[in-house]
Amino acid sequence: MPYLMRSIDQHTNGWPRGPIAKKPSRLLDSLAGTSVARLALVRETLRQLGIPYVWGGASRHGFDCSGLVLYVYRQFGVPLYHGATMQAHQGSPAYGQLLPGDLVFFGGPGYYHHVGIYIGDGHFVEAPHTGAVVRTRQLSGSGYATARRYPVRNSANHNPWWLYP
């Protein structure tokens, strides 16, 4: 895992934002046993930290919550709709322990108003609201309603070079 740590540090400037900033090694420990594809998805998600919130945004110029999910998953060949409620009705329920890359939804079955990407160790990445940037947040106490799991495969753009010396 030290190579994953080095790669994450390079892309997030040493974890400058959010509650996970103080304990990056705990996140890495929680990723042990995670598939290479899901590790790549977490890495891609963390690369978006600090990008501004833009309502309706789905690019590195700015994201809203479902646009962030759409952008990251598109890099792995997973087509998703732009909208938290529509995304919540895709994929399959994530029963039991969450896996890195699972989506966490806030609201109710008729209308989910927010979505984030679970990254492990009880944290997720979100594009929260106007005036904020993509950040990490602790899942505990956040009031998430449900989680969904989507099949993730390696993309040609995400060779797992960062796992090896």
* The one catalytic residue among 44, 123, 126, 158: 126
* The one catalytic residue among 44, 65, 123, 158: 65
129 tagged catalytic: no
* The one catalytic residue among 44, 114, 123, 158: 114
Distances (CA, A) of 15 to 105, 149, 150: 24, 26, 26
Sequence-ordered list of residues with C-beta below 8 angstroms from that of 13, at least 6 positions apart, any chain: none
d(C-alpha 80, C-alpha 103), whole Å: 12
Structure-token match 């974890």, residue found: 15
44 tagged catalytic: no
Catalytic annotation, residues: 65, 114, 126
